[in-house]
Amino acid sequence: MNKEVTIVIPMSIPKELNPNWQPRIPAQILRGIRAGKINQFKSFVKAYSYHAIHPFNDRKWQDWTPIEHATIEVTLVIRKTMKVWDETNVRTALKYAEDMLGTKYGAGVIVDDSPDHLEWLPIKWERGEPEIRIKIQEVLK
């Protein structure tokens, strides 16, 4: 049986992670703002990923071994008034989330986020209360 996990993060991607976001402020301040948002986003992704693979059931933590080969499908739920980003900008911003899925720095959902281990499926969009749904499915080779 193939392993599958869906990680639900109750927020939208911070606008500061969009490579096209260019407010009229000095570059060093912009770098500081982006760095803070990146760290905050990584922390959210890691925490919700860990919770998704280690739910508390019957007073025992479930055992989880990282997935060796997987597909990743992301669904972004955004408010009715929000603009849809182009896929390249979304993938750039979600690179930080991808890093938090691996075993080296992240929650250990997957072995590694390299193309040898992880294949991206097209990004999906929905309207509603903002959230990011990351579905990881094992691919048997």
Calculate mean pLDDT across residues 68-72: 96
pLDDT of 59 strictly over 80: no
Calculate mean pLDDT across residues 30-36: 93
Closest by CA to 42, choosing from 84, 104, 87, 85, is 104
Give residue 12's pLDDT: 92
Q: Name the CA dihedral angle for 102, 107, 109, 111, rounded to a multiple of 10 degrees.
A: 30
Calculate mean pLDDT across residues 12-40: 92
Choices 3.30.1330, 1.25.40, 3.40.50, 3.40.190: CATH for 4-138? 3.30.1330
